[in-house]
Structures are given as structure tokens and as C-alpha cells.
Amino acid sequence: MLNSTSIKSRFIVSLISNTIRSILGFFSGLLIARELNPSGYGDISFLLGSFVAISALLDMGSSSAFYTFISQRTQGMRFYLYYFAWLALQFIIPTFLITALLPESMIAKIWLGHSREIILLAFAASFMQQQVWQTLNQIGESSRKTIRVQIIGLVVAIGHLIMIYALLAEGLLTIQYVFWLLIVEYALATLWAVRFLREKQGAAEAKKSEAFSAGAMMKEYFAYCKPLALVSLITFLFQFVDRWLLQRFGGSSQQGYYQIAYQFAAVSLLATSSILNVFWKEIAEANAHRDRERLAALYQKVSRALAMLGAVLSGFLIPWTEQIVTVVLGLSYLTAVPVLMIMFLYPIHQSMGQIGGTMLLAGGHTKAYMTLSVTVMLISLPLSYLVQAPPHGTPIPGLGLGAIGMALKMVAVNIVSVNILAWIIARNYDWKFDWIYQIAGISLALGAGFLSKLTVGFFWNITRQDIVGLLTPFLASGILYVIIVSACTLAMPWLIGLEKKDMKSLIDNFKATISFR
């Protein structure tokens, strides 16, 4: 029976739940993408992406501070009420700007011709999904109620897929209905999850609340968020300008190609998204207790294992990119093949970046996080213009690469910045800078992926464009790939952060379990 508060149990539950949710969300996205075509899907991505960027500006690092503080120690009810008031302000300000303050000409320039109505719907959907639900998720995780949080998220994903399919069957699937679904679904999920906060408040917390000092709380927030305020501004520019330039120069179709590629690539981030909040809680607590040995063990094992897992998933999928796009999305998305191939590399280092960022934020090293984040994003902004602007017709010519340029820039910047981040962490904690496993793991995974596909190509026709004809060679390739990767991992357990004795222990435990059954 699982211990609902242990790291292992919470990670297993998170991984299973996030895997199912991601699969459900993936199919929901595919239904929307196929029905609305690249142009309509690109419009949804641009609108939601613009408000994700704006939320980063309004947040100013407060959500990271909030989660760190409630993870480190128990907080009283007034602490939460102040934060909820801050969330409400983040909703009121943009709503007022969009509805009453910004002139029509500025609305058209910022959101490139979309109406106020659809812009407001996109903002409400993004706010409920990103800020409100994330806050309730953090509250549940901080009290180690991972299982309950994941159940609610799973119900939302199931309901979303059912409703998307129902709208599609009735011929009612539009951009507006997609936004309304997100608003209603996450509003209901929030009401359901509110009890986490009530369950955290007992007699001890009530006494703590009476001694609450708003001034002390604001001072603590200010100290934590001050270095992150600049990060929030640059993050807003980085995220918004990337989307805006792609929509402006490439159009909604290029936006759609990039977004569908990103959605496919996100499959490799399942394990990272599952462990991140669990990892944050444990790192924050270990830092509070100055347990450096536990910090080192957690960081090395988690970062190596997740990087290798991302490499393994991407290494298998990259050789099959054209077949995946053709079968799953149809010929209208064939232009997205090279974009998807490049983006499959993105999650490998993205998982490392998320773990590294969590190490700094949960440990309170916000200044180092700010310096690196700002530098990388400032370098990335002119690169975005360079790869997306057309060669002619603009004051400063670019390469006009559209979605391909966006993907190339994202992967290249990600690889460089993540390794700089890893070096900073190693220096801060006086650890050895780890990088060899990246080259070895990625090379091994890609080599095994192309070898397995090449091998099955001798026995089956893999140029077919139907799922029935490709299913058998795809599965056969997968089995061969797993065998090759497993053999290499057993021979080199350091790739996943383990020693040979750890691997032997795992194998012995597995054999004992099989024998018992």
C-alpha cells in the first residue's frame, strides 16, 4: 500500500496521473488541431501564449515565493487571504485595460486583428488554468496531498476530452467554445480543490494566524521577489515577442505548426512535470535544514534520470516524425515535419533547466536565477527577430525561417543556458560540473532510434501513410529500441544517476517481486 506522503509514492502517483492527463490533453489538442486546421489552431496558441507572457509580468515571482514559503513552514489563513487578494488584482488590471482603457488601434496592433471579446475569453481561460489552478495545486502539494491534486486534474482532463469530442460531433468546435470550456472546467476544479486550504487550517494554524504580521510577510515577499521582478519583465518580453513575431511574420499557420510541434515534444516532459512540485518541496525543506548531502543526492539523481528519460523518448520519436505527422495530423500539417524533428530535442534540456531552476528558487538563490534568466532572454530576443523576420521588406532583414527558425532558436538557446545553469549550481554548492552524461545519453538514444527504424525497414514498408500498415513496424522498432537502450543503461547506470550497486539492487528487488508473484 502506498504511503501518500512519501516522495516515492507521490512521484509514482504524479507520474501515472500526469501521463494519463497528458495523453488525454494530447488527444484533445489533436482533435482541435485537425478540426480548426493550422490557422485556427495557431490563433488559439497565439492568444493563450500572449496571456501566459502577460501573467509572468504581473506575477513578478510571487507564485514562486508563495510556494516556497508554504513548503518551508505552516502558514496561517491570513497569509493565504493576502495572496488571493493579489491574484484577484492580477485579474482585474488586465480586464480593465482590455475592456475600457486600450484603444481599438492598440488592441489591433498587440493582438493582430482579434476582437476584444475573443481576447477577453482567452485571458480568462489562461488565468483560470495558469494562475488560479496552479495556486490550488501548490497548496495541495505543500501539504503533501499530491494524490488528491492529481485526481482532480485527471477528472478535468477526462471532462475536457469528452466535451471537445461532443462539440466536434455536433459541429460546434470553435475557438470561442474552446476558451469557454477551459474557463468552466478550471473554475469547477478550483471550487473542488478549495478544501485543501481548509484542511490545512487547524487549531495550531489559527493561533499562528493571530500572530500574523502583514508587514513581516510583505518584507519577506519583497526580499524574495525583488531579484525576480526584472526576470518577470524580461520573461514577458521573451514569451510575448516570440509569439508575436511568429504571428506577425509567419502567420497563424506557422504559429500552428510550431505549437503542434511543441505539443508533441511536451510528451517527453511528462516525468519532469510529475516530479517538479515534489522536488521543489523536498529541496526547499532540505535547504531549510541545511542538509547538503540530501541536496546533492536529489539533484544528481533527478537531473540525470530525467535528462536520460527525455533523450530516450525523443531518440525513438525523431526517426518516425514524418510518419507520425502524416498519420496523426494529416497532410495539412506535413510542413511541420522538420519543426517537430527539431522540437523533439527541446524537452531533453528543458527538463534539466526546470530542475536546475527549482534548485535555485527553492533554495532562495533568486539573484543567480535572475542574472542568468535575464541574460539568456535578452540574447534570445534579437535571435527571434533574426530567424523570423523576412529577408526583404523590413528595416533589418532576417532569415524568414518561420516555425523552423523558432524551433532552432529554442533548442540552441536551451542547450547553452541549461549548461550554464548547471555550472552555476555546481559552483554554488561546491559540486563537480556534470556534462558528459548529456552527450553520451543523447548520442546513444538517437543512434538506437535510427538503428531500430532502419532494421525494421528491411522487413516492412515504412513509407506507408496509414496507421494500420505502420503500427506493426512501429511497435517492432519500439521493442528493439527498448532492448538496445536497456542494455546500454545496464552497462552504464551512471547515465541515470545510479551506481552499479544501485542498479544491481533494483534488479534483485525486481527478481524477488517476480518470484513472489
SS3 breakdown of the chain: % helix, strand, coil, rounded to 5? 85, 0, 15
Cα–Cα distance for residue pair 231/368, rounded to 1 Å? 11
Cα–Cα distance for residue pair 417/409, rounded to 1 Å? 12
Cα–Cα distance for residue pair 344/407, rounded to 1 Å? 10
Question: Residue type at 320?
Answer: W
What is the model's pLDDT at position 463? 76
- Chain-centroid distance of CA 115 in Å reads 29
pLDDT in tens, 281-291: 677 777 777 77
Is residue 77 exposed (0-12), middle (13-18) or buried (19+ Cβ within 10 Å)?
Answer: middle
What is the model's pLDDT at position 207? 46
Say if residue 376's pLDDT is above 80. yes
The percentage of the chain sitting over the pLDDT mark of 70, rounded to a whole number, equals 85
Q: Characterise 144 by phi-psi region: left (phi > 0), alpha (psi -120 to 50), beta (else).
A: left
What is the model's pLDDT at position 5? 55
Is residue 88 exposed (0-12), middle (13-18) or buried (19+ Cβ within 10 Å)?
Answer: exposed
Assigned C-alpha cell, 273: 512535470
Q: What is the Cβ-side half-sphere exposure of residue 501, based on CA atoms within 13 angstroms?
A: 0
Instruction: Please name the residue that has the C-alpha cell 482541435.
Output: 32
Could you tell me which residues come within 8 angstroms of residue 219 by beta carbon, excluding any fewer than 6 positions away? none
User: What is the sign, positive or negative, of the torsion defined by CA atoms of 383, 385, 391, 395?
Assistant: negative
Burial readout 155-168 (b: 16 or more C-beta within 10 A, e: otherwise): ebbebbbebbeebe
Could you tell me which residues come within 8 angstroms of residue 94 by beta carbon, excluding any fewer than 6 positions away? 51, 54, 58, 123
Could you tell me which residues come within 8 angstroms of residue 67 by beta carbon, excluding any fewer than 6 positions away? 138, 141, 142, 277, 280
What is the model's pLDDT at position 204? 42
Give the max Cα distance, the chain. Answer: 74
- How would residue 429 be classed by pLDDT, with cut points 50, 70 and 90? confident
Instruction: Please name the residue that has the C-alpha cell 509572468.
Output: 56
Is residue 516 exposed (0-12), middle (13-18) or buried (19+ Cβ within 10 Å)?
Answer: exposed
Q: Which of 62-76, 108-122, 377-391, 393-407 has the lowest mean pLDDT?
A: 62-76
Question: Residue type at 167?
Answer: L
What is the model's pLDDT at position 209? 46
Per DSSP, the three-state class of 482 is helix
What is the model's pLDDT at position 355? 79
**CA-based nearest residue to 354, from 307, 398, 314:** 307
Q: Which of 295-304, 326-335, 381-390, 396-405 has the lowest mean pLDDT?
A: 295-304
Alpha helix ranges (H) inside 194-269: 195-200, 203-210, 214-245, 252-265
Say if residue 421's pLDDT is above 80. yes
Cα–Cα distance for residue pair 282/265, rounded to 1 Å? 27
Cβ(41)–Cβ(48) below 8 Å: no
What is the model's pLDDT at position 280? 65
**CA-based nearest residue to 242, from 401, 54, 98, 50:** 50
Kindly state the DSSP code that residue 97 receives in the 8-state scheme: I
Q: What is the Cβ-side half-sphere exposure of residue 206, based on CA atoms within 13 angstroms?
A: 4
**CA-based nearest residue to 179, from 94, 239, 118:** 118
Cα–Cα distance for residue pair 36/44, rounded to 1 Å? 10
pLDDT in tens, 461-511: 887 777 777 888 999 999 999 999 888 888 877 777 666 665 666 565 545
The percentage of the chain sitting over the pLDDT mark of 90, rounded to a whole number, equals 18
Cα–Cα distance for residue pair 51/59, rounded to 1 Å? 12
What is the model's pLDDT at position 290? 73
Q: Where are the domains of the chain?
A: 7-202+214-434
Mean pLDDT score, 170-181: 91
- How would residue 276 be classed by pLDDT, with cut points 50, 70 and 90? low
- Looking at per-residue pLDDT, the higher value among 376 and 214 belongs to 376
H helix or E strand, kind and range, residue 161: helix 146-169
What is the model's pLDDT at position 202? 46
pLDDT in tens, 87-134: 999 999 999 999 988 888 889 889 988 889 999 999 999 999 888 888
Cα–Cα distance for residue pair 293/485, rounded to 1 Å? 30
Cβ(380)–Cβ(238) below 8 Å: yes
- How would residue 1 be classed by pLDDT, with cut points 50, 70 and 90? very low
For the chain, what is the mean pLDDT? 81
Q: CA distances (Å), 421 to each of 194, 226, 276, 443, in order? A: 36, 20, 17, 22
Cβ(156)–Cβ(189) below 8 Å: yes
What is the model's pLDDT at position 377? 85
User: What is the sign, positive or negative, of the torsion defined by CA atoms of 279, 282, 285, 287?
Assistant: negative
- Looking at per-residue pLDDT, the higher value among 388 and 153 belongs to 388
Assigned C-alpha cell, 204: 495550531
Say if residue 43's pLDDT is above 60. yes
